[in-house]
Amino acid sequence: MLIRKPPAIKSSEITPESVYLNRRELLRAAGITTAGMISGTAHGDESDMNFKPLGKLTPSPYSTDAEPTGFADIASYNNFYEFGLDKSDPAARSGDFKPKPWSVTVDGAAEVTGTFTYEDIVGPHPLEERVYRLRCVEAWSMVVPWAGFPLGDLLKRFKPTSNAKYVAFETVYRPDEMPGQRRRLLRWPYREGLRIDEAMHPLTILATGLYGVELPNQNGAPLRLVVPWKYGFKSIKSIVRISFIEDEPFTTWNDAAPSEYGFFANVNPEVDHPRWSQARERPIGGGFFASKVPTLMFNGYADEVASLYADMDLSRYY
């Protein structure tokens, strides 16, 4: 069982506030020695990184007791095709991306719609540290100490109507800053979606940081979705639009390869990807020859989310 309530979390397992508030110590502890490793810039001066500490964070009741993956691995091994196909491309090629100022447009079946600044979105919400096991589609896995807040808390502010059966999301389209968008790898901009009950579930968060600092560009700055019981491609990055809609939304990977990437994308060791098994995974950080471990149904969150799919054939609705 991965879930553990706050009283059972040892103080030694929480990154000390003094480390979170000291960027230099944080990066040194994570083994980061150059700005290029994190920001994608060619500069070696740490002052160029501009990572803003997020302040004191409180562990979530949904935190896992697994050891977090190191900052260097989280920041250098990414799927973010807007910057390139290789896992190293986002860190190497995202230095020109400008995550601020930022705004998000909210539209569709809701009483409150419009365009809101980053500060509008984040301001009213206290941040929490939420440590998740987040799988990648290549049967790799990592444990990320995200900082953020439940997406549902934000969505309720817009007062969705009864016609809002789904929530659709869209990534920013800036080919001048995101070189991967200059190629027709996918139908840009990147789009994803959730059923409204999935979006409102307390395990679904809007992440604003990791390891106690604001999100690096390559990890989806400044706002990204985190849906920890689903495969990583559902956790859309650099969000600029949230839409409340009645019908199942268009999603990028389901459009590009529908036989490989379903709309629901729940972590399920019993359903193989057409080109590889998803029954086991290799934790990132241990090298290619690290031992694989069994993949858990719903990524270990079955007790929390299985009821969302009680009447569904998950081998068909993958």
Residue 285 within a domain: yes
Domain with residue 41: its CATH number is: 3.90.420.10
Nearest to 205 by CA among 235, 249, 232, 178: 235
**Count of domains for the chain:** 1
What is the extent of the structural domain holding 201?
6-309
Examine residue 202 and state whether it is found in any structural domain, yes or no.
Answer: yes
Q: Domain for residue 318, yes or no?
A: no
144: which residues sit within 8 A by CB, 6+ positions away? 68, 69, 74, 131, 132, 134, 210, 226
178 is a domain residue: yes
**Cα–chain center distance at 108:** 24
Interval 105-148: pLDDT, tens:
999 999 999 999 999 999 888 888 887 766 554 568 999 999 99
Identity (one letter) of the amino acid at 42?
A
Q: How far apart are CA 173 and CA 30, in angstroms?
A: 31
The verdict on residue 270 lying in a domain is yes
Q: What is the largest CA-CA distance in the chain?
A: 55
Q: Rounded CA gap, 261 and 269, in Å?
A: 15
Q: What is the pLDDT of residues 170-223, one digit of tens each?
A: 999 999 999 999 999 999 999 999 999 999 999 999 999 999 999 999 999 999
Q: Report if residue 304 sits inside a domain.
A: yes
Q: Is residue 317 part of a domain?
A: no
Predicted model pTM: 0.85
Residue 119 located in a structural domain = yes
